[in-house]
Amino acid sequence: MQSIFDERLWLAWLVKVRIIILTLLFGIELAIARLTPNPFPLRLFISVVLLWYAISVFYLLVLSFWEERRIQSLLQVIADLVMVTLVVYATGGVDSSLNFFYPLVIIVACILLPRVWAYLTGALAFILYVTVLELTYFEIIPSYSTTHPGLGALQAIIFVNLFGYLAVAYLAGLLAAKLRQVDVKLKYTRGALEDLQALHENIIQSISGGLITTGLDGYITLANTAAQKLFERSERDFLGQPVGKLFLDPLPTVDSERSHGEVRFVASNGFCKTLRVMVTTLSVPGRKTIGYVYTFDDLTEIRRLERDLRIQDRLAAVGRLAAAIAHEIRNPLTSIAGSVSMLSGIADLSDEHRQLLQIVTRESERLNGIITDFLAYSRGKQYRFASVDLLPLIEDTLTLLEHRLVAQNTGIRVERNYNFKEALTMADGDRIKQVFWNFCENAVRAMRSGGVLTVSVEQAGEDWQINFADTGPGMSRQLVEKIFEPFQSQFEGGTGLGLAIVYQIVQAHEGKVWARSRVGEGSVFVLRLRRLAAADNLPRKRPAAKPQLLPDSGEAVAAASTGGRAHG
């Protein structure tokens, strides 16, 4: 069987181990030579060790550029046998205690080379060792041994070593073959496990819903691709973070009666998403629970559609109500107004009676205004779309507003902030001016003690964004959520239909409108309309956005649009 070992790593390991052994051997032998009388030639021993050092360093350098690993292994094994033989000869031959290096070289050969080379290495080690013993015994070369065994003892030593080398070669080869087989199975099993793990990871990453796993401590350990896209974060941003801090609402728990629910999440653009979450325990067979699995689905669009349907239902109800009772109320209201006008002409009325008649007159006018708003809200509106410049429309509205503010001495200042010469869009200019006027009216009513109304125009992608920011007291989150629904006025005497009519107009223009507010920090109403250069006569249909919140910062945002996701 072909070796599955990484031969380069083994060769590098062999060189390093060889250098370590040589260093230890060199130190030990020098200590022995100094502490005990020993006839072996120290200079020869030092020369052999230094030569072995040089060969090891040479092999280490060759390893970096020579790719023939098998030939390198063979050369190193042969070179080690020769150097071991020289060391054995220099340290006493038959008396040398370093002949145990031969079995080590045989074991290395079993690891680096095919099994047959183990026996060949054992045979070569035996031949070299016997050659040293024979040459020194017959004094062909100088002997450095202290003992001189007889011929029979020498033959016994030779045969014992022959048996030992062959046994080491057999056992080491058998063990190396078993190790190779086990390693092959291990690599196969590891590959199958990696394939299975990759399959599971692909399944998790391919799930359309978001999936997050945590430990028992609630810290995130995994987030799939859908979760990263849903939360607009990378996996690195998820790992090690507490899962509860991602949401504005507490997550359901496995121990509770309901292991599912809805939570809100603040996206990177500052708007809320509504998510359905389910939690289950993460268990391993044979072990206890090791964590929790959270799965998420985005319900933001569904909740937006529900809100739009609720608004449409209210529109229909208001329309039916207005059509049914408008004339029934206006007829007696006209009679009341006429009667009051005649009564006010009586000369001998007291001041108290005249004050009561004025109250009746004012309330009749207010009731007539409410009915007018009902009819304006419920009737179908006709729009005349044309290319218009938003800046003159804004200027007309603000000029009228400023004259009124000066006349009434309200203490409110109007600031303009736009750096465009024109802002062209496809719109009904009169209806858009009605939207602007509603925003201004709301701002003036909010700033009863004076303040600043800042109107800005900016470019946002393919849209024009117009902001009306006041410095009033702001609005609560609950009010901002329903600000564009009918009958949600926060002002005394208001009908609550002004912003609902704004919503209708923006819906007809397929634009976007939303409000941002913090209690004590004023409010901002934002309108977006498609730029003329980015539109095809009329804006294309885009999905509407539901009211949004920023509870974590105390800022509330409501949005209503037919032109895509609202932005704050």
User: Does 310 share its domain with 184?
Assistant: no
pLDDT tens-digit readout, 333-343: 777 777 777 77
User: Does 433 share its domain with 453?
Assistant: yes
- CA proximity to 501, closest of 409, 433, 407, 455: 433
Q: How far is CA 298 from CA 142, 231, 303, 429, in A?
A: 91, 10, 10, 37
**Domain limits at 130?**
7-188
Q: Give the count of beta carbons closer than 10 Å to the beta carbon of residue 125.
A: 28
User: Does 149 share its domain with 43?
Assistant: yes
SS3 of 174-241: the string is: HHHHHHHHHHHHHHHHHHHHHHHHHHHHHHHHHCCCEEEEEECCCEEEEECHHHHHHHCCCHHHHCCC
Token code pair at residue 112: 């680096």
Which residue, of 250, 270, 298, is where some domain finishes? Answer: 298
The whole-angstrom separation of Cα 215 and Cα 218 is: 5
Position 222 pLDDT exceeds 70: yes
Is pLDDT larger for residue 217 or for residue 489? 217
Token code pair at residue 444: 């003036």
- Number of helices (H) and strands (E) in the chain: give both, helices first: 14, 14
Q: What share of the chain is helix, strand, coil (3-state, %, to 5)?
A: 55, 15, 25
Q: For residue 387, what pLDDT is reported?
A: 92
Number of domains composing the chain: 4
Token code pair at residue 432: 């858009």
User: Does 219 share its domain with 154?
Assistant: no
- CA proximity to 132, closest of 98, 178, 174: 98
User: Does 32 share its domain with 148?
Assistant: yes
User: Does 224 share its domain with 89?
Assistant: no
- H-helix or E-strand spanning residue 458: strand 451-460
User: Does 243 share its domain with 264?
Assistant: yes
The whole-angstrom separation of Cα 397 and Cα 480 is: 24
Any domain includes 66:
yes
Q: Give the count of beta carbons closer than 10 Å to the beta carbon of residue 416.
A: 13
User: Does 35 share its domain with 155?
Assistant: yes
pLDDT band at 542 (very low <50, low <70, confident <90, very high): very low
The whole-angstrom separation of Cα 446 and Cα 440 is: 10
Token code pair at residue 34: 């100094």
User: Does 285 share its domain with 314?
Assistant: no
CA torsion 49-50-52-54 (nearest 10°) is 170
By the 10 Å C-beta count (0-12 exposed, 13-18 middle, 19+ buried), 279 is classed as buried
Any domain includes 202:
no
Q: How far is CA 28 from CA 84, 95, 432, 496, in A?
A: 16, 16, 99, 101
Q: CATH number for the domain including 533? A: 3.30.565.10
Any domain includes 314:
yes
Tokens 């319900």, residue located: 299
- H-helix or E-strand spanning residue 460: strand 451-460
Any domain includes 158:
yes
Phi, psi of 381 (to 5 degrees): -100, 145
HSE (side-chain half, CA atoms, 13 Å) at 312? 7
Per DSSP, which regions of 152-209 are E strands? none
User: Does 151 share its domain with 22?
Assistant: yes
Position 457 pLDDT exceeds 90: yes
Cβ atoms of 104 and 122 closer than 8 Å: no
Distant-in-sequence, close-in-space partners of 184: CB < 8 Å, separation ≥ 6: 1, 4
By the 10 Å C-beta count (0-12 exposed, 13-18 middle, 19+ buried), 34 is classed as exposed
User: Does 451 share its domain with 332?
Assistant: no
Position 308 pLDDT exceeds 90: no
Angle, helices 7-35 vs 69-90, to 10°: value is 10
pLDDT tens-digit readout, 277-291: 888 888 877 777 888
Is pLDDT larger for residue 515 or for residue 26? 515
pTM score = 0.45
Any domain includes 89:
yes
Which residue, of 254, 270, 298, is where some domain finishes? Answer: 298
Which residue, of 350, 378, 406, is where some domain finishes? Answer: 378
Is pLDDT larger for residue 493 or for residue 336? 336
pLDDT band at 1 (very low <50, low <70, confident <90, very high): very low
**What is the CA 415 to chain-centroid distance, rounded?**
41
Q: Which amino acid does the sequence have at 5?
A: F
Q: For residue 454, what pLDDT is reported?
A: 93
Any domain includes 349:
yes
Position 553 pLDDT exceeds 70: no
pLDDT band at 491 (very low <50, low <70, confident <90, very high): low
Q: How far apart are the first and last CA of the chain?
A: 69
The whole-angstrom separation of Cα 128 and Cα 81 is: 8
Instruction: Give the pLDDT mean for 177-193.
Output: 80
Q: For residue 237, what pLDDT is reported?
A: 83
User: Does 156 share its domain with 255?
Assistant: no
Q: Of the spans 112-126, 283-297, 393-407, 470-484, which averages the highest pLDDT?
A: 393-407
